[in-house]
Structure 1
Amino acid sequence: MRGDCANCFGLCCTALPFAASADFAADKPAGQPCGNLQADFRCGIHARLRERGYSGCTVFDCFGAGQRVSQETFGGRSWRADPGSAQPMFAAFPVVQRLHELLWYLTEALSLPEAESLHPQVRAELARIDGLAGGTPEELARVDLAAERAQVNPLLLRASELARADAPVRGKRRDRRGADLLGANLKGADLRGVDLRGALLIAADLRGADLRRADLIGADLRDAKVAGADFTGALFLTQPQVNAAKGDAATHLPAGLERPGHW
């Protein structure tokens, strides 16, 4: 469930729209190839994305949807070689990406020993969502992503509660779900076991903060300062969230996540 660009037909560079901003140097509508995409589906400025104004590309990860749609859903036929496949392929990609994100969360829930009682249900949902992601383009077009998230979410929430049950928490502010912490000063904060699902942590100062066993599913960490922060055992943290934050060599990450090159 990690992007493998060598086996993808540049789908994130074509299927998704860009809006000119601090993250992207130019506008690009959905379904139109980025001007930097080469004929072999490689990025012509990959080593210089940030300096060329495309930092948004450096934080993106498709959770492996790109290669699955390219090689499985469409059997290795590129949209350039088969123009008729372009629109169905571009429509399928974001659906599979969202389904693969759910697979990431479910896979993590299956790794939590505290949630062992839920593992049979987690395995069943994992198989079901994987089956949806492996559907035909026509079947993928009918997937109701909101309904799928709503079905999986209670299971993930319960797994999180079980995993955080023994985490030491100071005070009574354990539930910070959806909290507006935009630019908040949380330097050195003890956030162990805190529910930060969907919290807005954009540009927050989390330097040296203790986020062990915190639930970070859907938390917005764009430009959050996480130098020296401890994310060891943090729940449902993804590579795109890590990529969007500003850490350093002293930032502790959960197993399976990589330290971004731009840190």
Structure 2
Amino acid sequence: MAPKDQAAPAHGDGGDGTAPGALRADCANCFGLCCAALPFARSADFAADKAAGEPCTHLRTDFRCGIHADLRERGFSGCTVFDCFGAGQKVSKITFGGEDWRKAPETARRMFAVFPVMRQLQELLRYLTEALAWPQARPVHDDLRRALDTTERLTHGSPEDLVDLDVAAVRRDVGALLERASELVRATVPGPRRKRRGADLVGARLDRADLRGADLRGALLIAARLRTADLRGADLLGADFRDADLCGADLTGSLFLTQPQANAARGDAATRLPKGLDRPAHWR
């Protein structure tokens, strides 16, 4: 399910996931974990069913995708939007020391169990790193740094430690801190700030909407129309942008928008993304 067949190391990292900015998938240094560990069901995003722990039929012996160039055309658009936030290379190179699950099949079950836990921790590292870059969140920077260090240490635990980790509790603790950082930033955004957390906005027509500083955490924006909408300073953590129309929308300065969210949406040359995100190849 990796979005790239031959990905360059992220942010200058050597591929082992140890560099501070190694928070995006580096498929060249991963044992195809997203293509083997995770399940998917036949749907608009996937053309077939696959059970967790069962390697995808398109995964080659070199851990590359055999249909990478044609994933969308072959009905696997879900693969093109996925990013493990660097979990794949960290599990492959650090947690299991470069041990290939095909050459050492006794490691496969543990490796596949560790991967989804590691992905959640890496995602939290991505959010904490972003929040630390916000000057407005300076009152909680010390707490953010401590949470970042603690979460990073957790990612270097043993396979047994990672499988047994109460990752939901970690997410709750970090989530409360991220929420406080978001509030500090959004308090500086001029005008009224809409509260649409978790709102069902599937198919909503929000063209030209002023959503500056809005709380859209976990909002369902599937197939919503957000053409030329202003989302500057909006908290987008966990918002579902699948097939959302972001043509001409301004998302600069939005909070917690990730590459998978952008990849899941539709946009064009006029769509403005936050610094650090790539314009998806399928956008017009």
TM-score in same-fold range (> 0.5): yes
Shift of 1:160: 0.4
TM alignment of 1:102-251, pairs within 5 A: 102-170=124-192, 174-251=194-271
Shift of 1:169: 2.6
1:48 counterpart residue number? 70
> AA paired with 2:269?
A
Shift of 1:18: 1.1
- Structure 1 window deviating more from structure 2 (138-147 vs 3-12): it is 138-147
- Among candidates 74, 89, 92, match of residue 114 of structure 2: 92
Partner SS for 1:115: helix
Does 1:257 find its partner at 2:272? Answer: no
> AA paired with 1:244?
A
2:103 counterpart residue number? 81
Partner SS for 1:149: helix
Shift of 1:51: 0.2
Task: State TM-score, norm by structure 1.
Answer: 0.98
1:23 counterpart residue number? 45
1:169 and 1:194 in contact (8 A); partners too: no
Separation in 2, partners of 1:207, 1:136: 46
> AA paired with 1:19?
A
Task: State TM-score, norm by structure 2.
Answer: 0.91
Partner SS for 2:36: coil
2:61 counterpart residue number? 39
In structure 1, list runs of 5 or more residues that go unmatched.
none
> AA paired with 2:240?
D
Separation in 2, partners of 1:169, 1:16: 43
2:5 counterpart residue number? none
Separation in 1, partners of 2:139, 2:75: 47
Shift of 1:142: 1.0
The one-character-per-residue Cα deviations of 1:30-81 (angstroms, maximum 9, x if unpaired) are 0011000000000001010000000000000000000000000000011001
Partner SS for 2:170: helix
Separation in 2, partners of 1:74, 1:97: 15
Q: CA RMSD in A?
A: 0.7
Shift of 1:154: 1.3
Separation in 2, partners of 1:144, 1:204: 34
> AA paired with 2:32?
G
1:68 counterpart residue number? 90
The one-character-per-residue Cα deviations of 1:133-178 (angstroms, maximum 9, x if unpaired) are 11110000111121111111111011001111121234xx621111
Separation in 1, partners of 2:262, 2:200: 19
In structure 2, list runs of 5 or more residues that go unmatched.
1-22
Separation in 1, partners of 2:162, 2:65: 27
The number of residue pairs the alignment matches comes to 261
1:169 and 1:191 in contact (8 A); partners too: no
Separation in 1, partners of 2:114, 2:268: 36
Identity of aligned residues (%): 67
